[in-house]
Structure 1
Amino acid sequence: MRNIFLVIKREYLVRVKKKSFLIMTLLAPLLFVGFYAVVIWVAIGSVDTKTVQVLDESGLFKKEFKDSETLKFVYLDASLDSAKARFKGSEANALVFIPKNVINEPKSVRIYAAKNVSMDLKSDIEKVIEKQIEDIKLSAAGITHQILEDSRVNVTSETISLSDEGEKTSSSGAATVIGGICAFLIYMSVFIYGTQVMRGITEEKTSRIVEVIISSVKPFDLMLGKIIGVALVGLTQFVLWIFLTAALTSATSAALSSQMPKDSPQMKQEMKKIQDGMPNRQMPGGTVENPIAEVLGAVNSLNIPLIIGCFLFYYLGGYLLYSALFGAVGAAVDNDADTQQFMLPITLPIIFSFVFAQFVLRDPDGNLAFWTSIIPFTSPIIMMVRIPFGVPAWEIALSMVLLVLGFMGTTWLAARIYRVGILMYGKKVSYKELAKWIFYK
């Protein structure tokens, strides 16, 4: 055990002290926060006021186009040819022509521009014309637009979990998002850090350093120490990313808020878009439910401690299971180019589990979800997708036990290959040759 701890310490300290580790640990949160900060800044700070000329031959839209912080409408009283000639010498961004027969031929509306108009501007103009034509046709049929609006009802249901502990509010949307994020993080970590183990072993084998190390440390101890050491490096990087991203996000939000007054036209417009996209719900008794509070309540309805605990277990379990196989591949070959022929059988279960996760999200309690969350090669990703939806304790326990047994099995298998392959040079290895190594005494 002492040798294993020495290898773990050496692997951890060597990798953590590398400039590449420090740069990526600091750079990833900066890039993530910086990307969204730029997007928000561009969305809020780059809104210009556009001038739109309106030539309405029908006379039905004189008061329908309303000025806003970003749009200014100017009504014209001239012929179409004269309006187009004046438009070319003006600073207007668009010219809207509405013919007399627009009621019967709504597709006859034309929008002229020097270059082209944005989809948002085109959509805003079309919505105003559509609404006015609808109102005119409804009025002719004896139905007002208000009656039509009152007849529209948005049904929003609330999901409640029934268990031995009683009724508890749940959220399918929050469970889907949280489960998907956890599965993606495990999927990426297995590839990134498992590959690091394989490349580290290959480099030591190629440089013949391993010949000196093997004289003092057993091959199994060396392999296990490398696997656990890289796992601790990955956990350290994940924890630092979480804390740094949270700190930078808070600082960036505060900086953007201080630079953009709440009563600015841009802020008002963005807030209006958010409110239009997230309408408040009218609750019994006349109260209105805030959508932001609803999202926070949905997250709080999940069993966060269970999700975090299971994530750490399946992150480590999935990594340890696959990194043992990656380590065996690294010991069997002499260079990175030769690893490709052995990577496919290892990476296929990971890829399949990520693909299966899309179907499990639709039916988290189906047969596919159950069996793929039990099999050790797919359980790290699939079980993390299911846990936010609620999984019986015995299924989680069975999955964890099988994952531990799976790790022990792959470690034994990898150790049998590692002890022979780590000192094997200049020979092209095949699957048949690997099978012989496993049963060597």
Structure 2
Amino acid sequence: MNRLGLVIQREYITRVRKKSFIILTLLMPVLMVALSLVPLWLSTLNDGSVKNVAVIDNTGIYAPLLKSTDAYQFQVIGESEHQDPESRLGKDLFAILQITADLNENPRSVSLTSQKQAPQELQSMIVRTLNEKVTQQKLDDLSSSGNVDREAITQVRSIVEEGSRVSLRTLRLDSGGGVSESSTELATIIGMLFTILIYMFILMYGNMVMQAVLEEKKSRIVEVMVSSVKPVNLLVGKVVGIGLVGITQLIIWGILMGLFFSGLSFFIASPGQMDTTMPTEMGNFDMEGMLNTVMTVNWLEIGFYFILFFIGGYILYASIFAMFASAVDSEEDTSQFMTPVTLIIVFAFLAGFYSVNNPDGPLAFWASLIPFSSPIVMMVRIPFGIPLWEKLLSIVLLYGTFILISILAAKIYRVGILMYGKKPSIKEMMKWVKYK
């Protein structure tokens, strides 16, 4: 047991002391936020040029409603200019918007012609403007028919023009009968965040175990190590030590996140601070309300299950990675074994991604019970609230499977780690299991 502890200590200390670990641990949250927000910000920037859009409106109803922006300049073309405007596309015109009939009577009488594919931003702007006008036309038709009170039509028109904003509050009833405010969007973000973390950590630290096994085998240092440490203890120490590195990194990130939200909460609660309700194009963004919703999340439960599923998933796949790495002599030879394993992990991630919109569907349910996908998929479902028996059953199946896989991996590892010059098949590796 003392020798096993030394192996674990060696694997843990040598990696935690590396500058790369310290730098990545501290900078990774910043990098993740930057990788998420910077592309989003860059996508809102245009190339600095103003794109001219010619508008041919045979009805004369809709063209005046199209307002130019910093990115798009709408130019109404008169009857005398209608001849061959397509020849100007790609030169002084970016696109041509043509309205041939009353859209209230024929909604398909509008087209947008461009040399390049028209951006979604431009299409959305045009469709929104035209839809608002068609809605007003329909209200005018109702008003002129006399079937509806004119005062009611006026009220409805004012609502349409101002835009009605509905804010739906979502509440959750817990097992104790209490009601707390929840957010489907927040549950989705939390589920995807922890799913990505588990997916990333399983691949990253599983590959770290594989690389460590390959390096020791190629350098022949393992021959010296097994003279004083049993191969099984060497495998267990390597998997546990590297796993503790991952848990250390997660704990540090958890502390940093707690400090961030505590500081943000203090900033919002401090008197004299700026108003946290800011108007945006999406409506009123209530930062304090959002923070309160974040605080209502049962972070203790999510963190507890995250650690359990991370440990189970990591040991399961790390054992597989180490098992295959011990059977070959080079990293190139691992591809025949690792490709199917990688495909399973990618399938689990995609299953989790597609389960966000239907966390109780058959895909989400069965993928959260199958041990090879449950660590990733289950973290999508937990923030939405699922029965306790499903969580416990998933954990039992996962831990039972990784114990069996670990025993199998240990039997193959003890033979493969000292075998050189031969790339075995799966069938031959199964024979190693029976060796005494």
Q: TM-score, normalised by structure 2?
A: 0.72
Map residues 318-397 of structure 1 onto 2, 5 A cutoff.
Answer: 318-344=313-339, 346-347=341-342, 349-358=344-353, 360-361=355-356, 364-365=359-360, 372-397=367-392
Q: What corresponds to 1:5 in structure 2?
A: 5
Cα distance per residue 1:358-382 (max 9 Å; x no partner): 5654554567655544444333223
Q: What corresponds to 2:207 in structure 1?
A: 195
The answer to whether residue 248 in structure 2 is matched with residue 236 in structure 1 is yes
Is the alpha carbon distance of 1:145 and 1:132 closer, same or farther for their aligned partners in structure 2, counting shifts above 3 Å?
farther
Give the Cα–Cα distance (whole angstroms) in 2 for the partners of residues 180 and 106 of structure 1.
39
What secondary structure is seen at the aligned counterpart in 2 of 1:160? strand
Give the Cα–Cα distance (whole angstroms) in 1 for the partners of residues 108 and 374 of structure 2.
55
Is the alpha carbon distance of 1:169 and 1:213 closer, same or farther for their aligned partners in structure 2, counting shifts above 3 Å?
same
The answer to whether residue 232 in structure 2 is matched with residue 224 in structure 1 is no
Q: What corresponds to 2:308 in structure 1?
A: 313
One-letter amino acid matched to 1:181: L
Greater displacement, 376-385 / 182-191? 376-385
> Contact 2:101/2:109 (CA < 8 Å) preserved in 1?
no
Cα distance per residue 1:13-65 (max 9 Å; x no partner): 33334455456446644543444246437747988888889888866569745
> Contact 2:324/2:337 (CA < 8 Å) preserved in 1?
yes
Give the Cα–Cα distance (whole angstroms) in 1 for the partners of residues 327 and 378 of structure 2.
32
1:105 CA displacement: 7.4
The answer to whether residue 407 in structure 2 is matched with residue 412 in structure 1 is yes
One-letter amino acid matched to 2:203: F
1:204 CA displacement: 1.0
Q: What corresponds to 1:32 in structure 2?
A: 32
Q: What corresponds to 1:166 in structure 2?
A: 178
> Contact 1:5/1:225 (CA < 8 Å) preserved in 2?
yes
Give the Cα–Cα distance (whole angstroms) in 1 for the partners of residues 347 and 124 of structure 2.
41
> Contact 1:30/1:248 (CA < 8 Å) preserved in 2?
no
One-letter amino acid matched to 2:219: S
Is the alpha carbon distance of 1:26 and 1:161 closer, same or farther for their aligned partners in structure 2, counting shifts above 3 Å?
closer
1:103 CA displacement: 7.5
One-letter amino acid matched to 1:209: I
Map residues 147-186 of structure 1 onto 2, 5 A cutoff.
Answer: 147=156, 156=168, 158-186=170-198
1:201 CA displacement: 0.7
Is the alpha carbon distance of 1:316 and 1:100 closer, same or farther for their aligned partners in structure 2, counting shifts above 3 Å?
closer
> Contact 2:169/2:181 (CA < 8 Å) preserved in 1?
no
1:355 CA displacement: 4.2
Greater displacement, 57-66 / 209-218? 57-66
Structure 1 gaps, min length 5: 252-261, 263-269, 281-289
One-letter amino acid matched to 1:32: M
Give the Cα–Cα distance (whole angstroms) in 2 for the partners of residues 54 and 363 of structure 1.
43
1:312 CA displacement: 1.3
Cα distance per residue 1:158-188 (max 9 Å; x no partner): 3432523434444444333322322222122
1:92 CA displacement: 10
What number of residue pairs does the alignment pair up? 407
Structure 2 gaps, min length 5: 145-152, 264-273
Greater displacement, 373-382 / 318-327? 373-382
One-letter amino acid matched to 2:382: I
* Aligned pair partner of 1:428 in 423, 426, 431: 423
What secondary structure is seen at the aligned counterpart in 2 of 1:215? coil
Q: What corresponds to 1:256 in structure 2?
A: none
> Contact 2:136/2:157 (CA < 8 Å) preserved in 1?
no
Greater displacement, 323-332 / 153-162? 153-162
Using CA pairs under 8 Å that are at least 6 residues apart, name the structure with larger relative contact order, 1 or 2.
Answer: 1
Greater displacement, 383-392 / 60-69? 60-69
Q: What corresponds to 1:258 in structure 2?
A: none
Q: What corresponds to 1:209 in structure 2?
A: 221
1:81 CA displacement: 7.0
1:229 CA displacement: 1.6
Q: What corresponds to 1:267 in structure 2?
A: none
Cα distance per residue 1:318-376 (max 9 Å; x no partner): 10122112111111111122222333564455344334435654554567655544444
1:425 CA displacement: 1.4
Identity of aligned residues (%): 40
Map residues 31-50 of structure 1 onto 2, 5 A cutoff.
Answer: 31-35=31-35, 36-37=37-38, 39-40=40-41, 43=44
What secondary structure is seen at the aligned counterpart in 2 of 1:163? coil
RMSD, aligned α-carbons: 4.7
The answer to whether residue 432 in structure 2 is matched with residue 440 in structure 1 is no
Q: What corresponds to 1:284 in structure 2?
A: none
Cα distance per residue 1:175-232 (max 9 Å; x no partner): 3332232222212211221121112111211211111111121211211111112112
What secondary structure is seen at the aligned counterpart in 2 of 1:142? helix
One-letter amino acid matched to 2:235: M
The answer to whether residue 288 in structure 2 is matched with residue 274 in structure 1 is no
Greater displacement, 364-373 / 305-314? 364-373
